[in-house]
C-alpha cells in the first residue's frame, strides 16, 4: 500500500529504530524458504481429497524441508490419494507427503484444508503445527511469563499468516495488533469475544441444519467463497472463568467452525478439551499437548522482539512517503557488530557505520535497452548477457539487478563465495575486516563463520576468479585483516545508480535507457542473506521504478509509444507490483491503438497485486485510468462505426 502511493524520488517509510531493524533481520534469518511449497502442497492435497471423496480428520502437521507429515485422528479407511508412505503411530496413521510430487495449486484453489494450524515448536528437524480446530478449545498453562509469550507469539502468527487457508481471527488482550486490520478483530474482554462467537455459530447452525462439523469442513473446501464456512479462531490472554470455558467448549463442539486458544491455570475447576502444558526441561522450554501426547521445543517471541515486531506493523501502516535522505535511508543500517567487531572500535574502518561510495564505474552500461531484460509481458528476447566483455580482458562483474550473478552466470561459484563477493561489493573500497566477514557470512547473527573456514573460502574464491589485468588478485588484502574487491571489479548496482541518478536529475532519456539496460529481473533474486538491509533493497527497487517511469513518460512525450511500453516492461521486471509502471504501460498501449494490450496490462496488474496481498486492491489512480482508457476507446469505436 505504501509503494502504491509513493511519489517519484521519494521512499516508503521503514523502521529506523535499531532494535526494530535487528528484530527484522533475525526474522529474515529464521524464515523458512519451504513455506510456499508447504502452502502449495496443502492446497493440492485439498483438491485431491475432494476428488477422492474423502476428508479425514487431521490433528497436527510436521513440516520438513522436503515433505509434510500429516497426523490423522484415526486410521483412514482408504489409502492416501497420492503415492505416499504411511507410517503407523500411536494415534493412528501418518501420511507423508513429498513436496516435489505435488503440483502447484491454481489461483482458484485456496489451501483451506487446515486453516487452524499454528506453530507449536520444533521437533525432530521440523516444525510441529497443531490444528486448533481439531482441538476445539485449548488452554495454555505453565509459568505465567512463558504462557504469555506463547500466546502472544501465536496471536502474531495468526494475525499475519495464511499458511493453510482463510480464517477469521478474534483477539483478546492484544490491542497492539489492531493496526494490522484485515482478518483480526480486537475485543476488550473475553465476554465480548464469546458474544461474537455465539452470533457466528447461530448463523452457521441455521444454514447447516442437521449437518455435522465434518460437513462444514467439506463445504469449506467446496465453497471457499462462502464466508459462513470459514473457521473462526479466538486467541485470548485473559483466562476464561469456569462458565466461559463451558460456553466456549459448547460453541466449538457444535456446529463447529470455532477454535480457541486461551490462557489457563493449573487446578481449574473445568477441564478444557485440550491443553498445552509448558515446562523447562534440560534448559529448554518444552510444550506438551494433551490429549495428542505430542511435545515440541518452544522458542516464543521475547517481550522485546514482540514489541519490535509491533513496531514493524506500526511503520507499515504509516501513510505518505519520506525523502531519500531521511532515516533509515540516509545510511545503510548494517548490523552494529560491523562498526565495532568484537565490541571494540576498529581504527581501520573509516566509514563509521556508513556505507562508503563504491568504486567508480568502469564504463557505462553495455548493450541496448532490454537486451538482458526478463520481460513481464511477452517480448522478443535480446541476445546479450550480463557481464559480456572482451575475452582478452580479465573481468569481475557482480550483478544483483536480477538473480545474483558473477560474470553473467548465476551459479559460477558456490553460494558462500557469491555471498562473500556481494558483501565486499556493497562495502566499496573500504572493504570489510576478517572478523566482520566471519559475522556476515554466518548462518545467522548468533553463528559467525569460523576464521579457518573464511580463509579457505577466500583462497578458493581467488583461485577460481584468477587475476585482474594488473596481475593482482580480485580479492585484495588491504592489510590488517581488511579485504576489499579490486578497483577494476564492476558492480551493476553502482553503475545503475550512477546512470539512473543522472538521468532522473537531468531528464536524460539516453542515460535512463543505459541504466535500464542493466535490469535482468527482480533485484537480489536468490539472495537470502539475513544481513541485507531493507533500506538498501527498497532503494534499489525505488530507483528502478522511478527510472522506468520517467523514461516511459519521456518516450511517450516524444511520440514513441512502443519505446514507452518497453521502458515500463523493463521496470516491471524489477518490481511487478509497481502500479506507476502498469499505468504507464496502459497509456502506451492505448496510444499505440492496442486496446487488447490495455486490458492485458490491467489483468496482469491485478494478478501482481493479488500475489502481494490476497485482499489487495489497485490504487484508485490505476483503476480510474483503466476505465477511462477503455471507455474512450469504446466511444471512439462507436463514433467510427457511426
Q: In this predicted model, what pLDDT tens digit does every residue of 98-136 receive, in sequence order?
A: 776 554 444 444 557 899 999 999 988 889 999 999 999
- Strands across the sheet with 405-406, in order? 405-406, 397-399, 490-491
Instruction: Give, as one character, the DSSP assignment of residue 6.
Output: P
Contact 495, 518 (CB under 8 A): yes
400 burial via Cβ count (<10 Å: 0-12, 13-18, 19+): buried
Between strands 231-236 and 167-172, the pairing is parallel
Asked if residue 459 has a cis previous peptide bond (ω within 30° of 0), the answer is no
**What nine digits make up the cell of 366?**
553495455
Contact 496, 543 (CB under 8 A): yes
For 139, phi then psi, to 5°, come to -100, 150
Report the half-sphere exposure of 480 (CA within 13 A, side-chain side). 9
Contact 110, 166 (CB under 8 A): yes
> Residue 120: its pLDDT value, please?
94
Tell me how far apart the alpha carbons of residues 633 and 214 are, in angstroms, rounded to a whole number.
51
Tell me how far apart the alpha carbons of residues 516 and 536 are, in angstroms, rounded to a whole number.
18
Tell me how far apart the alpha carbons of residues 32 and 341 are, in angstroms, rounded to a whole number.
28
Contact 407, 390 (CB under 8 A): no
Instruction: Give 191-240 pLDDT, tens digit per residue.
Output: 999 999 999 888 888 888 777 777 888 888 888 888 888 899 999 999 99
CA 524 distance to own-chain centroid: 13
**What nine digits make up the cell of 273?**
478439551
Tell me how far apart the alpha carbons of residues 189 and 123 are, in angstroms, rounded to a whole number.
34
Contact 475, 514 (CB under 8 A): no
Instruction: Give, as one character, the DSSP assignment of residue 371.
Output: T
Q: Give kind and range of the element (H or E) at residue 167.
A: strand 167-172
**What nine digits make up the cell of 170?**
478474534
DSSP codes, 380-391:
PPPS--TT---T
Q: Strand, coil or helix: what is 527?
A: coil
Helix axis angle, 492-506 relative to 534-557, nearest 10°? 50
Q: Strand, coil or helix: what is 125?
A: coil
Tell me how far apart the alpha carbons of residues 133 and 165 are, in angstroms, rounded to a whole number.
13
Task: Show the 3-state SS of 416-461.
Answer: HHHHHHHHHHHCHHHCEEHHHHHHHCCCECCECCCHHHHHHHHHHH
> Residue 624: its pLDDT value, please?
95
> Residue 633: its pLDDT value, please?
64
Q: Strand, coil or helix: what is 130?
A: strand
Find the farthest-apart pair of alpha carbons in the chain and give their distance in angstroms, rounded: 85
Contacts of 195 (CB under 8 A, 6+ apart): none
Between strands 258-263 and 167-172, the pairing is unpaired
Q: Give kind and range of the element (H or E) at residue 482.
A: strand 482-485
Contact 177, 184 (CB under 8 A): yes
Residue 634 CB: number of other CB atoms within 10 A? 11
Contact 72, 94 (CB under 8 A): yes
Asked if residue 255 has a cis previous peptide bond (ω within 30° of 0), the answer is yes
> Residue 642: its pLDDT value, please?
54
Confidence (pTM): 0.76
Residues of the chain with pLDDT under 70: 32-33, 76-79, 82-92, 100-111, 162, 164, 266-270, 332-392, 614-615, 633-642
- Please state, in angstroms and as integers, the Cα–Cα distance from residue 225 to each residue in 25, 166, 337, following that order: 36, 10, 49
Place of cell 515486531: 309
Contact 435, 342 (CB under 8 A): yes
Contact 247, 260 (CB under 8 A): no
Place of cell 566509514: 351
Closest by CA position to 157, among listed 295, 24, 278, 306: 306
Amino acid at each position: 500500500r505504501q509503494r502504491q502511493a509513493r511519489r517519484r524520488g521519494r521512499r516508503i517509510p521503514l523502521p529506523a529504530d535499531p532494535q526494530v531493524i535487528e528484530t527484522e533481520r533475525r526474522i529474515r534469518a529464521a524464515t523458512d524458504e519451504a513455506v510456499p511449497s508447504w502452502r502449495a502442497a496443502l492446497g493440492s492435497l485439498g483438491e485431491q481429497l475432494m476428488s477422492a471423496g474423502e476428508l479425514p480428520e487431521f490433528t497436527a502437521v510436521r513440516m520438513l524441508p522436503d515433505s509434510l507429515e500429516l497426523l490423522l485422528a484415526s486410521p483412514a479407511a482408504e489409502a492416501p490419494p497420492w503415492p505416499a508412505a504411511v507410517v503407523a503411530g500411536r494415534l493412528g496413521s501418518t501420511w507423508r507427503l513429498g513436496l516435489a510430487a505435488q503440483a502447484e495449486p491454481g489461483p482458484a484453489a485456496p489451501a483451506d484444508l487446515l486453516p487452524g494450524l499454528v506453530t507449536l515448536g520444533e521437533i525432530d528437524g521440523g516444525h510441529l503445527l497443531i490444528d486448533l480446530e481439531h482441538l476445539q478449545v485449548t488452554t495454555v498453562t505453565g509459568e505465567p511469563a512463558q504462557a504469555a509469550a506463547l500466546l502472544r507469539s501465536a496471536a502474531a502468527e495468526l494475525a499475519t499468516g495464511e499458511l493453510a487457508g482463510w480464517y477469521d481471527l478474534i483477539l483478546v488482550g492484544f490491542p497492539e495488533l489492531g493496526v494490522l486490520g484485515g482478518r483480526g478483530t480486537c475485543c476488550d474482554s473475553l465476554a465480548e469475544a464469546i458474544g461474537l462467537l455465539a452470533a457466528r455459530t447461530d448463523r452457521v447452525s441455521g444454514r447447516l441444519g442437521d449437518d455435522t462439523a465434518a460437513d462444514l469442513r467439506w463445504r469449506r473446501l467446496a465453497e471457499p467463497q462462502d464466508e459462513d464456512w470459514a473457521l473462526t479462531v479466538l486467541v485470548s490472554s485473559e483466562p476464561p472463568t469456569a462458565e466461559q470455558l463451558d460456553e466456549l467448549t459448547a460453541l466449538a463442539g457444535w456446529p463447529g467452525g470455532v477454535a480457541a486458544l486461551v490462557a489457563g491455570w493449573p487446578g481449574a475447576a473445568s477441564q478444557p478439551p485440550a491443553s498445552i502444558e509448558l515446562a523447562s526441561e534440560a534448559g529448554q522450554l518444552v510444550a506438551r499437548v494433551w490429549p495428542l501426547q505430542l511435545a515440541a521445543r518452544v522458542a516464543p517471541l521475547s517481550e522485546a522482539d514482540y514489541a519490535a515486531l509491533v513496531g514493524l506493523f506500526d511503520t507499515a501502516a504509516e501513510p505518505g512517503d519520506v525523502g531519500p535522505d531521511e532515516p533509515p535511508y540516509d545510511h545503510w543500517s548494517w548490523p552494529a557488530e560491523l562498526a565495532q567487531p568484537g565490541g571494540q572500535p576498529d581504527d581501520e574502518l573509516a566509514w563509521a557505520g556508513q556505507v562508503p561510495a563504491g568504486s567508480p564505474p568502469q564504463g557505462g552500461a553495455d548493450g541496448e535497452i532490454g537486451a538482458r531484460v526478463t520481460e513481464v509481458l511477452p517480448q522478443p528476447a535480446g541476445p546479450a548477457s550480463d557481464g559480456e566483455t572482451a575475452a582478452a580482458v580479465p573481468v569481475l562483474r557482480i550483478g544483483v539487478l536480477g538473480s545474483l550473478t558473477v560474470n553473467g552466470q548465476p551459479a559460477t561459484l558456490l553460494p558462500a563465495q557469491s555471498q562473500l563477493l556481494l558483501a565486499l561489493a556493497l562495502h566499496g573500497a573500504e572493504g570489510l575486516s576478517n572478523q566482520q566477514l566471519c559475522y556476515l557470512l554466518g548462518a545467522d547473527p548468533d553463528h559467525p563463520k569460523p576464521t579457518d573456514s573464511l580463509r579457505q573460502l577466500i583462497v578458493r574464491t581467488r583461485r577460481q576468479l584468477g587475476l585482474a589485468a594488473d596481475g593482482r588478485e580480485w580479492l585484495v588484502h588491504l592489510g590488517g585483516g581488511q579485504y576489499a574487491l579490486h578497483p577494476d571489479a564492476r558492480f551493476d548496482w553502482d553503475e545503475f545508480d550512477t546512470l539512473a541518478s543522472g538521468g532522473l536529475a537531468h531528464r536524460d532519456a539516453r542515460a535512463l535507457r543505459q541504466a535500464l539496460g542493466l535490469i535482468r529481473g527482480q533485484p537480489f533474486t536468490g539472495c537470502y542473506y539475513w544481513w541485507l538491509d531493507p533500506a538498501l533493497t527498497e532503494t534499489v527497487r525505488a530507483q528502478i521504478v522511478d527510472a522506468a517511469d520517467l523514461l516511459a513518460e519521456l518516450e511517450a512525450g516524444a511520440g514513441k509509444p512502443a519505446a514507452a511500453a518497453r521502458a515500463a516492461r523493463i521496470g516491471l521486471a524489477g518490481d511487478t507490483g509497481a502500479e506507476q509502471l502498469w499505468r504507464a504501460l496502459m497509456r502506451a498501449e492505448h496510444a499505440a491503438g492496442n486496446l487488447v494490450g490495455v486490458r492485458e496490462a490491467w489483468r496482469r496488474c491485478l494478478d501482481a497485486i493479488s500475489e502481494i496481498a490476497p485482499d489487495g486492491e489497485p490504487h484508485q489512480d490505476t483503476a480510474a485510468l483503466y476505465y477511462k482508457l477503455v471507455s474512450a476507446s469504446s466511444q471512439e469505436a462507436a463514433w467510427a462505426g457511426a
